[in-house]
Structure 1
């Protein structure tokens, strides 16, 4: 296939190409000027996107995906919410991506309903500092786009300076706390005891444990394959889950320890899933946290930490026992050791104070 290139059409920009025996002509930038470097660079990017979509088999033959919104100087947005919607729609996001962080920011904007020049509503929120920092970055991108489109004159979020985020100390569960928690489940919610033990013993992500199937458990080789997860469907009703690859797209094989073999042996494999709710359905993480995890930690007098802390616990104890960061990164499903070294570096080769007396 020939490379698609912008051409000069009486000063405007056009893309002309053929695909599957059909000829296409597109004006990607309404009002665009071929002699304007920014317009031409944008047109080249759109041409590149078309070629990528053709090769990937997802070409939109209506060409709607590749047209920019015309600049509407006479109908500029009056509030941030209107501007946010224009920007998000211009990004061509997948429904799942749009339903994640972008939807959360939109909900926050809709609640405060700030004008285009207000900015302190964000810093006055009671969100965690990391969340504010992430949303500030998105708002800055939104306004940079809006300036290019002629919708606003300035970016009020560029001058905002956030306080340095406090260092979050990870506090893994101790072996005493792990024993107390598992004993608490044995007494108060025995059905979920193997599930909790599995989380502690493997350090897998919660969605990976919820989605684990018996076909991924090889007792003859004493191995468990973690290749999929069962996260919430962000475009659904909040309860449905969808099967997909792991967070990093990795596939890892975990060797079963004696404790892990005994944990799985205690489960009667009556369902496709290894771990289910009492009624045999997919475990709902929010329901499990509120009805079992929080009450049982309180009952056994263990300070509350999120369920995700079981993952921190496995990694922390593995480091203390001398397992190499490369091995831990593999077991945890990280692409490389960067996350392990950044988050747990203080635990690696921890020096001892000298003996002076």
Structure 2
């Protein structure tokens, strides 16, 4: 037993005996390209393809240093490892599936706007929780994207990139849902603040607004409580919020909107 410490409060022996480790690769003098290929395959099966590639990069550097220090010729590093492997095809919702989600959201007055908004506005996952009511202009039917919400819930008065500051048009469906939500959404000290705030408790009739909410809604909480349940309830394949952005872009292009304008409205490219 080792004495207890801050790093090891229970005094357990956390050292690993070198003799207990089984070498995966042979000695340098016996190492071949086939051994490296087999080793890379084992690492990718246990730890993932990215980790295997990083380990391969470090091994290449180690072999290069060994050639300089010991004047031996290391085996050539095999190339193209893992190329051509079958990739998992991402799930894409059909227009009929998206229509079912929007229809369900319109009848879900308490949570519908939370999961319908990415399909109707094409915003980035960090832009939706950062939206304030002052950014929604019903007079000209635009939403001004100019801030994001960080992972800890704090608002940042800047978007992911400079090109991300933009105005999004409000369609008839989204306008109706936002107007209905503005009546009952959580408020900050009785005033409108966040559009997608943390839910509180709804007041009884005739007072339709909520109390006890208005705080930040974290991304993980939103995905678990609002986003994922709708796919399970409607028996639809799960897609990520990023996929909803792509669906929004595809819908606008299908309506004949020019590609450059679609890119300006929905995508946040890195400026030159």
**TM-score band (shorter)?**
0.5 to 0.7
1:28-107 counterparts in 2 under 5 A?
none
Partner Cα distance (1:116, 1:157) in 2: 18
Does the 8 Å contact 2:149/2:155 carry over to 1?
Answer: yes
- The structural deviation recorded for 1:145 is 6.7
Q: Distance in 1 between matches of 2:85 and 2:41?
A: 18
Shift of 1:115: 7.5
Matched, 1:124 2:45: yes
CA RMSD of aligned residues (A): 3.6
SS of aligned partner of 2:162: coil
Among candidates 114, 118, 122, match of residue 203 of structure 1:
122
Matches within 5 A, 1:284-299: 284-299=218-233
Find the aligned partners of 1:212 and 1:169 in 2 and give their Cα distance.
Answer: 32
**Do the aligned partners of 1:185 and 1:193 also contact (CA within 8 Å) in 2?**
yes
Partner residue in 2 for 1:276 = 197
CA distance in 1, matches of 2:128, 2:174: 13
Q: Find the residue that maps to 2:168 and give its secondary structure.
A: strand
Q: Which runs of 5+ in 1 are unaligned?
A: 1-112, 233-239, 337-357
The 5-angstrom pairing of residues 116-155 of structure 1 reads 119-125=40-46, 127=48, 132-133=49-50, 135-136=51-52, 138-139=54-55
Question: Structure 1 residues 155, 182: CA separation in 2 closer, same or farther (over 3 Å shift)?
Answer: farther
Match of 1:259 in 2: 173
Q: Is the 8 A contact 2:131 2:148 kept in 1?
A: yes
Task: Kindly tell me the number of residue pairs found equivalent between the two proteins.
Answer: 210
- Residue in structure 1 matched with residue 159 of structure 2 by the alignment: 246
Change (3 A) 1:292 1:243: closer
User: The residue matched to 2:123 in structure 1 has which SS?
Assistant: coil
Unaligned runs of 5+ in 2: 1-20, 26-38, 201-212
Structure 1 CA distance, aligned partners of 2:173 and 2:22? 55
Matching residue within 214, 218, 222 for 2:133? 214
Q: Using the TM superposition, give the Cα deviation of residue 314 of structure 1 relative to its aligned residue in structure 2, in angstroms.
A: 0.5
Q: What TM-score, normalized to structure 2?
A: 0.62
